[in-house]
Amino acid sequence: MTIRHIVSWQLAATDPVEQAEHAAGIRARLHALVGVIDGIRALSVGTDVAGGGNWHVVLVADFDDLDAVNRYQVHPAHTAAGAYIRSVVAARSCVDVEL
């Protein structure tokens, strides 16, 4: 059973340049987890292109199973990435779905 882990963030910064820097920081930290944390099948991070009231950054990651998601959540590399992300976001939304 593959689990798709989808997380969206609204960035705290209102300045477009600062938002772009923070989004790039999120992207780099999350992409760095591939190959470090077992169980990640695929991982992509994107930024909103439509604007308006949309959320700014999204993570879509596929895991082997729910146990792999749980291991990912507590892995020290993910914890470090999460600390940076929490420092630059105002809100977070997450859903895990079975494919």
- Res 52: pLDDT: 85
Domains of the chain: 3-98 (3.30.70.100)
* Residues 1, 65 contacting (CB under 8 angstroms): yes
Residue 1: pLDDT over 90: no
Higher model confidence: residue 52 or residue 30? Answer: 30
Is residue 96 very low, low, confident or very high in pLDDT (cuts 50, 70, 90)? very high
How far, in Å, CA of 7 to CA of 59, rounded? 5
Is residue 42 very low, low, confident or very high in pLDDT (cuts 50, 70, 90)? very high
| Average pLDDT of the segment spanning 75-99 | 98
What sections of the chain are H helices per DSSP? Answer: 16-31, 66-74, 76-88
pTM for the full predicted model: 0.94
Each residue's pLDDT tens digit, 43-86: 999 999 998 889 999 999 999 999 999 999 999 999 999 999 99
